[in-house]
Amino acid sequence: MTGKLPFEALSVETLATRLGTNEALCAKIGKDASAWKVREVGDGNLNLVFIVEGASGGAIVKQALPYVRLVGDSWPLPLKRSFFEYHALTRQERRAPGSVPAIYHFDEGQALIIMEYLAPPHIILRRALIEGRQLPNIARDIGLFMARTLFRGSDLSMVARERKNDLALFADNVELCDITENLVFSDPYFDAKLNRHTSPQLDGLVAELRADRDLKVEAQRLKHIFAANAETLLHGDLHSGSIMVTDTETRMIDPEFAFYGPMAFDVGMLLANFWMSFFSQRGHEQNGKRDAMRAYLLGVTTETWAVFRAEFSLMWRTERDGMLYQKSLFEDQGDRLGSEQALDNVLHQIWEDLLGFAGIEVHRRILGLAHNADFEAIANEDVRATCEAKALKFGRHIAVNRRQIHSIDEVNNLAALIEQESSI
Ligand code: SR1
Ligand code: MG
């Protein structure tokens, strides 16, 4: 298959014929395409994902579709998101080696990426958390990934010309940004066409949130920061469905939403997903209490933020070579304290903004189009609504009061208090 043929979606039936001569794939899984086993396993909202296994191994073939898979062809979406995913993965691998799947081949015309198959026991992190599994390394691994990719993709590290060129390249990921701009920051707060929520249980609360002026102003302030603060190359969709884990390994996948935006966005979205998992645990208690799991999840948020801060600070002190906060103004003049003060300011801004992004992310997963399995897998709608209502209340508090919240312990104490409330 070459990039010059017109785009055609792959299928389980056609994949071996169409990719049977692809050198990278044959080298990885074996040349005899007639023996390949192909399964389509995409459970995300946008793309086709195939697992292809041959005599000598397996690979993932991921292909973008010209529309949003979750909605259908009434919502066209450009194939070029595959180009952005490919380029984001190559940068992430450079900046945080070993944290993403290896890439074997990219075909821009067919919008497909052939990459490393993260075979079982790898599992999507969201699934593992729903099952109540406590993964020992995720906080460290994800904290390091975020610090390294966000720092090294910014003007704290990159040569200004290279960063500006890269910013221009990713600025074309307009349609994927548009999804986030609408689905995350605006749709949850009015009666948007594709919204849904657990009804009638949450109807009253939904009406209250849509009438909440402080919340809407804050959501739009955050949208403004998201759209206008081209600080670093973001993953752009760093939720627990975009991470694969084993007990010892953590890999970030699916950066098709990558663009230059605020550092706090990735961190806030990620932490929001841990807090949503925390609030959803009550709905998954049929196989035993989840008290330890809840404590684990709050511990994960604390550790992730601590690892992020520590690694970001280390890079600030040891590899700050970009045009921002030049050493010539601080360390080179013997003013280490000035550099530390600037670091504190930068981390403080990330903290304040990540709380806002986290709160809004919680809301959109319960009120908008794209819900997550943490809550959706709770079959009893009353139980689900109770979990969701607590999460909504938590999200509102951290978004609106983000400038008055000073530590992750304060946030986690609030989460624990709200979770203990008996009714919604
Ligand atoms: C229409 S796409 C809905 C969501 O799926 C992706 O994973 C992103 O989170 C997006 O917001
Ligand atoms: Mg995705």
Spatial distance between the Cα atoms of 67 and 76, rounded to a whole number of angstroms: 4
The CA–CA distances, whole Å, from 127 to 134, 239, 257, 391 equal: 11, 12, 22, 19
Do 166 and 89 have their domain in common? no
pLDDT computed for residue 287 by the predictor: 66
Cα 113–chain centre separation:
19
For ligand 1, what atom is nearest to the CA of residue 364? 11
Spatial distance between the Cα atoms of 421 and 423, rounded to a whole number of angstroms: 6
Q: Which residues pair with 245 in a beta bridge?
A: 123, 250
Do 340 and 261 have their domain in common? yes
Do 79 and 154 have their domain in common? no
Q: 179: CA distance to ligand 1 center in Å?
A: 7
Tally of structural domains, the chain: 2
Do 37 and 149 have their domain in common? no
Do 272 and 163 have their domain in common? yes
pLDDT computed for residue 411 by the predictor: 98
CATH classification of the domain holding 58: 3.30.200.20
pLDDT computed for residue 288 by the predictor: 72
Ligand nearest to the CA of 273: 1
Residues in the chain: 424
Residue 17 lies in a domain: no
Q: Which residues line ligand 1 (CB under 6 A)?
A: 44-46, 68, 70, 179-180, 183, 237, 370
Residue-wise pLDDT tens digits, 406-423: 999 999 999 999 999 986
Across 77-119, the runs of DSSP E, i.e. the strands, are: 103-107, 112-116
Provide the CB-side half-sphere exposure for 414 (13 A, CA): 21
pLDDT computed for residue 422 by the predictor: 81
pLDDT computed for residue 424 by the predictor: 61
pLDDT computed for residue 3 by the predictor: 47
Do 33 and 159 have their domain in common? no
Spatial distance between the Cα atoms of 258 and 13, rounded to a whole number of angstroms: 31
- Which residue matches tokens 């978004």? 399
Peptide bond into 200 cis (omega under 30): yes
Residue 8 lies in a domain: no
For ligand 1, what atom is nearest to the CA of residue 184? 11
- Measured by CA distance, the residue closest to atom 3 of ligand 1 is 370
Angle between helices 408-420 and 381-400 in degrees, nearest 10 = 150
Spatial distance between the Cα atoms of 202 and 363, rounded to a whole number of angstroms: 12
Do 206 and 110 have their domain in common? no
Do 220 and 338 have their domain in common? yes
Is 295 in a helix, a strand, or coil?
helix
Do 135 and 243 have their domain in common? yes
Do 127 and 112 have their domain in common? no
CATH classification of the domain holding 400: 3.90.1200.10
Assess contact for 122 and 245: CB atoms under 8 A: yes
Positions of the chain with pLDDT lower than 50, given as ranges:
2-3
Q: What is the DSSP string of 164-216?
A: HHHHHHHTT-HHHHHHHHHHTTTGGGTT-TT---STTTTHHHHHHHHT-HHHH
Assess contact for 375 and 387: CB atoms under 8 A: yes
Spatial distance between the Cα atoms of 312 and 310, rounded to a whole number of angstroms: 6
| Whether pTM exceeds 0.85 | yes
Is 364 in a helix, a strand, or coil?
helix
Of 175, 179, 270, 273, the residue with max ligand 1 atoms within 8 A of its CB, to mutate for a pocket test, comes to 179
Q: Which residues pair with 40 in a beta bridge?
A: 50
For ligand 1, what atom is nearest to the CA of residue 242? 7
Domain limits for position 144 = 123-419
Encoded amino acid at 230, one letter: A
Domain limit, last residue, from 92, 116, 140: 116
- Measured by CA distance, the residue closest to atom 9 of ligand 1 is 237
Domain limit, last residue, from 116, 131, 162: 116
